[in-house]
Every structure is written in structure tokens, then in C-alpha cells.
Amino acid sequence: MKNFLEIIEEVKSIVSAEYNGKKIFDKDVADLLGISQMNFATMKKRNKIPFGELLDFCALKSISINWMLYGQSPESLIDATNKFFMVKYFNDVNASAGGGGENEYEDAQQIEIPHEFVQMLGGERELQNIEAINVSGDSMEPTFSYNDIVFINRSKTDLQRGGVFTIRTEAGLFIKRVQKRIDGKIDIISDNEVYSTQTLDPREIEVIGRVVSRFGEVD
């Protein structure tokens, strides 16, 4: 996969004709992607690719996300896949890695998944169980950050082995590391050590599904 700087250069190249030969700055790219200059600078420093914004940009410009991320033309994928892989993406849903997501599941759009990424989601058979939503907040940093897109397998709700899950409590929708205790209660853990662990009764938690990827594997 291309890194942050390579992708930003691709964006500049795509829109260069619209700028009539004028130099395109990072702030221009930030505006094109709908990202604040402060967040853009943070992403650049951390090499954190803004997947959600790139998906919207590619859709607007009729560009393949495979080409943007991997340099692959749609034609080069035909022999390997002979089809597109699509996943439901709830663009208006934010699960909080912080104070609690307020949005419920609403109308979904379909996003194209690169062929190489399907195995990270558990294989083609699991795609029917996969849904994508957004992350807000910082309590799961560095594992997840604001505006990351995470992929949830809704068929995986067993907390016995622990892991990262999307859960709903009376406080909202969350992405947290979950661990079942010997006494049967559930520890709700933030990867960011600034946040304390919360312990809840299983009856206080609705498990939406296990977080299986964010355009990369999740431990």
C-alpha cells in the first residue's frame, strides 16, 4: 500500500488541471478531502491515511480506490478476481473511542474493498457479516484514531476470548477492548492509558460485533 505522502501526491496530480499550473499545497489537499489543516498535519506526521475521505474523493472523481491505494488499475484486477467485493458502509454512524457515539445504524452505502483486503476480513464467505463504520474520539489510540474506518463482523459476538468489539451501552455506541472476568462481569478497556477501565454487568452491554480490521489487522 502507498504511504501518506505518495497518496497526497496522487491527489495533487489528479486535481492539477483544476489549478491551471499553480502550485498545490497541503492545505489545498486538506480542503479537497474535507479535513482540517490541524488534523491533516497530524495524519501526515503519523502516516495515517484518511481512508474515509479518500473513498469519498475517489467516488467524486470516478477513480478506483485500488489504484489510489495500491497503484492497481481496474483492468489489472479482472483476471485475479473477475468481480468486485463490496461491503456495507454506514457513513453517518460513529462509534466512540471516547465519550459515546450518538448515531444509530442508518442507511448504508456500498464501498469497494480491494481484493488483497478480503482475507484480512476473514475471507469472501465472511463479507456478508461485515459492516464498516467510523471512529471518533481518542480513547483507543494508538490502535484507532478519529476518522478511522473500522470493519465489524456482526456474527462474532462471543466475549469469552476477549478482543476489540463495538458495543452499545446506555451511554452510547463504543469501540473498546473487552475482557470477561472470572466473576462474570465485563471489563471495558481503553488502549489509551489516560482513560480508566470500566466494569459492567453483561446485561448492561449489547455486543454489536467484533472489530476485525481498519484497513489492517487488529490484535
With a CB cutoff of 8 Å and minimum separation 6, the contacts of 189 are: 176, 177, 178, 179, 197
Under 8 Å between Cβ of 139 and 195: yes
Give alpha helix (H) positions in the chain: 4-15, 26-33, 37-46, 51-61, 65-70, 74-81, 115-118
Residue 146's nearest CA partner among 207, 88, 198, 214 is 214
Q: How many CB atoms lie within 10 A of CB 180?
A: 15
Give the pTM.
Answer: 0.63
pLDDT at residue 110, rounded to an integer: 77
pLDDT at residue 58, rounded to an integer: 83
More confident: 61 or 83: 61
With a CB cutoff of 8 Å and minimum separation 6, the contacts of 24 are: 12, 15, 16
Domains and CATH numbers, the chain: 1-76 (1.10.260), 84-219 (2.10.109.10)
Distance, in Å, from the CA atom of 177 to the CA atom of 191, rounded to the nearest integer, reads 7
Q: For residue range 170-211, what is the model confidence (pLDDT) as tens digits?
A: 888 899 999 999 999 999 999 998 999 999 999 999 999 999
DSSP label at 37? Answer: H
